[in-house]
Each structure stands twice: as C-alpha cells, then as structure tokens.
Structure 1
Amino acid sequence: MNRKTVIITGANSGIGKAAAQRMAAEGHRIVLACRNPDRAEAAQREIGEDTIVGLVDLSRRASIHAFTDWAHRELGEIDVLINNAADFDLAHKEREMTADGFERIWFTNHLAPVLLADRLMDRLVASPQGRIINVSSMGLLFHPFLTVDLKDPMFNQRTFSVAKAYYQSKLAQLMYTLWLSRQLSGTMATANCIRVSNVRLDLDRFPDLPQWMKNLYAIKARFSITPEQMAETYAQAALNGDAGNQTGQHIGHPFKETGIPVYAKDPLCIEQVMQLTYKQLGIRPSISYEQPETG
C-alpha cells in the first residue's frame, strides 16, 4: 500500500471524523486539524491508528501560520489536504468579525482554506500525487442565481444572514477549486471539490439552536445519509488511484462528477473572485499557471 499523509480540517466530528476513521483504518497517517484540543484528542483516542492532532483555528490567520509552520517541521511529506471544516451555525443571527477584522464565515470557510493550501503548496506539489480537496454544498442547488458579491462579500453594507454567508463561501470554494486546478497544470497535484449531500447532523454541536429548528432537522434526518456514507466519497477522492488523474471536478455522492453552476465556471468570474481573495489575504499565489510557449 502507498501510505499517505492526509490532513483533514474539522476532523473531530461529523464527516471529517468519519473520513479520518475510514482512511486511518487503511493504514494512512491522518492529521486531525482541529480548533478544540480536548475534542481533537478525544477523537484521536477513539480513532487510534496513526493519527496526529494538529491544532488550528481557521478563523485566525496567526493560527493558520503556526499550524503550517508546524506541519513543515513535523510532518515531512503531505499528500492530501481536505478542507472540510466550515462555520455554519444557524443559531447565529448577527454578523461576527474575526480578530483579524474579517466576517467570520467568509474567512473561515473560504479565505482560510485558500491560505492553508497556499502555505502547504510546496509539500503537496512535491508529493507523487498531491491532492487538494475542497468542499461545497448540495444546498447551492437551491440558490441557482447566487454570485459572490465582489463589492461586499463580508456584509458590511447588505443585510446579513448565516445562510447567505455560508452559501456564498461554498460557491467561492468551488470557484477556487476550478482556478487552482489550472494553476496546478504541469504538476502531479490535483484540485477537486466534493459536493456534500444532505448529511445527518449531530445537533449536540449546536446547543443554541431553537427547538423548532431542531424539530425540522429531526424530520430532515430521515432523508439524510450518514457521515460515514459521505466519508466514503471523501476517501475515494483522497485515495483512489483513478481519482488522481481527475482535476477541476465537482464530485457528488456517491462518487461521480456533478454539475457546476454557469456563474461558477465562468473564467472571468473565477478570476475576479480569486483576485479579491488574494487581495484580502494580502499575499500572492504561491503557484501560478504559465501558458506554454508555442513555436
């Protein structure tokens, strides 16, 4: 077996934890990249195998820098990065800002995964088959005309809602995946995006959720797949040999290529979103596609 080192953000619960269990059971080295040390260590004890806890708070730039510095020192090779963690708590009604001055959902769900991948890009590209896996949501199907608000992505002027902020961030992640797959041309690394289906939630993670919403989710759970089922698609994207030849794809569950909104695959729109992304991060991309010379 070709043993891989796999970093999974948000791996102490839900799909991330199920994916960690699934891949650790096959003998791969799994890094549980989590914010809460107690929950991360509990997950590590439960999973066992060759798992490592790496602490990172994706709402804080300094924490991402510290984590990636640690990863370079301690991990050696990095074969797969799964940007699984996301901020989506419907109990929150007001816009929240990070310590660095960003709207929390926009930074945690979009800017942070871009920064994380960018700072680990050298190791991922050096891998014989490096893979970057981002995550979108099936909920985008219910927002067919959604765009990334280039003038106000952080809801400084427009009315904030958790759902609007969340789906905007997931749309941006899909567009980032398409952009990144092109930047990686000429390397052995790939970038794909998994569209998470209707997955059963652990409502204990959301203690402030109003009762009517808990009741709604209880009904919804009857038609949901389990985190373990969704984790199987994660594992295929991360480990399957044939998947290593796929890049720039939107992958649904069960593992299959699925559609991409017209806006999300428009080259000009993608470029605008990524220019905004790197401008807000205040950095230049660590890897860029160069058109081959023709003669």
Structure 2
Amino acid sequence: MPAKTIIITGANSGIGRAAAARIAGEGHRVILACRSLEKAAAARADIGGNTIAAELDLASRRSIHAFTDWVHQELDQVDVLIHNAADFDLSKTEREMTADGFERIWFTNHLAPVLLTDRLMDRIITSPQGRVITVSSKGLLAHPFQTVNIDDPMFATRRFTPAAAYYQSKLAQNMYTIWLAQQLSGTMVTANAIRVSKVKIDLARFPDLPQWMKNLYALKSLLAITPEQMTETYARTALDPSLRNRSGTLLDHQLKAVPFPAYAKDPLCIERVMILTYRQLGIQPAVTFSDASGPAEPTGFR
C-alpha cells in the first residue's frame, strides 16, 4: 500500500496517540495535530516513524486557520482526516466560552471539525481515495431522546451540563457525517463515523474530577476496552481498501455498520443542523451535492 498522509487531531494521548503509533508503524506519514505543541512533540519523539508534530487548538478559530494555512504550505494532499479530539470534562459545572464567543464544547466538538474539514477539502479531494472520519460515542444509546437544540445549542438560556453539551455535539457530528457523505457523492472522498465504545480513561487527565466520579469510571473501566483495541478500528477505517466505497456509515469498534440515531437520520433535522452550523461559522460549504442532471444548489444555503 502506498504511504498515505493522515491527520489525527488530539494525537498526543489516549486513542489518538495509539492510532498515530499504529498507523505510523505501517509506514504512513502522520500529522499529530494537538492543542499543545510541546505534548505533540513529546508524542512524536516516543512514536517515531514519519510523524510530524503540529499545533492545533480546536477551541480557537485562529489556530484552525493557522494550522490549515500550514497544511496548504507543506502538504500537496491529505489522504485521511481523523477528527479524534474532543472536549468532555465532567468536572465542569458552568459553560465556558471560547475567545471567539462560542460555547467551548459545541465549538470544539462540532463547529471546529466542520471548519477544519472545509478548509482542508481542497487537499483531501486530491487524494486518490480521501477519507474524512468523525468520532461518535456509544453513550448516545443511553440518550435516545437527544436532539440538537437549534434555538440554543450553546446553553445561553438553558441549564448546562457537560454531558448534555457533549452528546449534543456528538449527535451533530453524526448528522454532519451523513450530510457530508451526500455532498461528496460522485467524488473519491468518503465520510464515515466511528462509534467509540467504553474505553479505559486515563483519570490523571482529569485531576479536578470528584472522587465519586473517579470511582465510577474506575468501575466502568473493568468492562472497557483499551485504547489499543479501539485503535484497530481507527486504523482499518483509515486504511482498509475494502472500505473505499463505503460512505455515510456509522461503524462500531468491531468495524460493523450500526444504525445512526433516528433523529440524526431525519433529512429535515440534518438540514436544520447544517444550516445552523454554517450560519454560525459564517461560511459557505466547501462542497455541494450534484447529480448526473447537473449542479444542484444545496437546500437552505442560498
């Protein structure tokens, strides 16, 4: 298999780091895109291979622009973009706003991946078989009535909890994956989501977590898989030739297709969420769906 160029966000720890090591070990070039350049460099030194440390803070629009500018200067194409990084700090009791004026979890977990993908689409589209991979959570199964609050996605007037913000953002990413796969129809680029199962958590990353929560997660870890086990799903979704024509699919940790939540599949709900997304970002989609009869304007983006 020819060497590919793969960007993994949040690749300095956990599943992201394990995936970077696994993929780099096969001879591919991996960009470790991390909020802390120092931590990215430390991970690069440990992983070795053809890896590059890069700074990318997904809570900062300026950082996203700087990173994508760097990609355009240094890379002719991007074969795979894995949206691994996410904000889910259970110790938070109040919403936190970014410097750009967005609720941090909503921006980091949903708006930022959309913006990052859009700004890199010209590099992904040049790949012989580009892949965009988002990351969902099996925890959504425990929230069957979860929706995206179109009127208040950033908890300006409703009660904030990190879990509510996180699962809303992950549901929105499910919807983005389905939408993006439709927009990319007819191209060589695919968009799929990985549903992460219960994975052992490094509790040292959350020093402010209440002790009862630490005890709960320690108990859950007894039934959880390791980051290395989840890594195999990342690697195969990124590299497996048999998946080259699969798009708009949610894959579990065993690489089996599983259904998206009913709300996430509703075409009208998807349209509303994507209109909201691009309106908040203040940009037009980088790709729009067209069929054999000719170009078609994406509904809602006129």
Q: TM-score range by the shorter chain?
A: over 0.9
Query: Following TM superposition, by how much is the alpha carbon of 1:291 offset from its aligned partner in structure 2, in angstroms?
Result: 3.2
Distance in 2 between residues matched to 1:82 and 1:258, nearest whole Å? 19
Distance in 2 between residues matched to 1:174 and 1:136, nearest whole Å? 7
Within-5 A mapping of 1:82-161: 82-161=82-161
TM normalised by structure 2 equals 0.96
* Structure 2 counterpart of 1:291: 291
* Structure 1 counterpart of 2:299: none
* Structure 2 counterpart of 1:59: 59
Query: Following TM superposition, by how much is the alpha carbon of 1:76 offset from its aligned partner in structure 2, in angstroms?
Result: 1.9
Query: Following TM superposition, by how much is the alpha carbon of 1:292 offset from its aligned partner in structure 2, in angstroms?
Result: 2.6
> 1:137-179 deviations in whole A, cap 9, x for unaligned?
0000000011100000000011000000000000000000000
Query: Following TM superposition, by how much is the alpha carbon of 1:290 offset from its aligned partner in structure 2, in angstroms?
Result: 1.6
SS at match of 1:126: coil
* Structure 1 counterpart of 2:272: 272
CA RMSD of aligned residues (A): 0.8
> 1:21-77 deviations in whole A, cap 9, x for unaligned?
000000000000001122111100110000001101100101000000001111222
The one-letter code of the counterpart of 2:156 is N
Query: Following TM superposition, by how much is the alpha carbon of 1:192 offset from its aligned partner in structure 2, in angstroms?
Result: 0.2
TM normalised by structure 1 equals 0.99
Within-5 A mapping of 1:1-295: 1-293=1-293
> 1:94-118 deviations in whole A, cap 9, x for unaligned?
1000000000000000000000000
SS at match of 1:222: helix
* Structure 1 counterpart of 2:300: none
The one-letter code of the counterpart of 2:56 is V
Runs of 4+ in structure 1 off by over 2 angstroms are none
> 1:112-147 deviations in whole A, cap 9, x for unaligned?
000000000011111000000001100000000111
SS at match of 2:230: helix
* Structure 1 counterpart of 2:298: none
Distance in 2 between residues matched to 1:233 and 1:210, nearest whole Å? 31
SS at match of 1:180: helix
Query: Following TM superposition, by how much is the alpha carbon of 1:212 offset from its aligned partner in structure 2, in angstroms?
Result: 1.2
Give structure 1 stretches of 5+ with no counterpart: none
The one-letter code of the counterpart of 1:291 is D
> For this pair of structures, how many residues does the alignment match?
294
Give structure 2 stretches of 5+ with no counterpart: 295-302
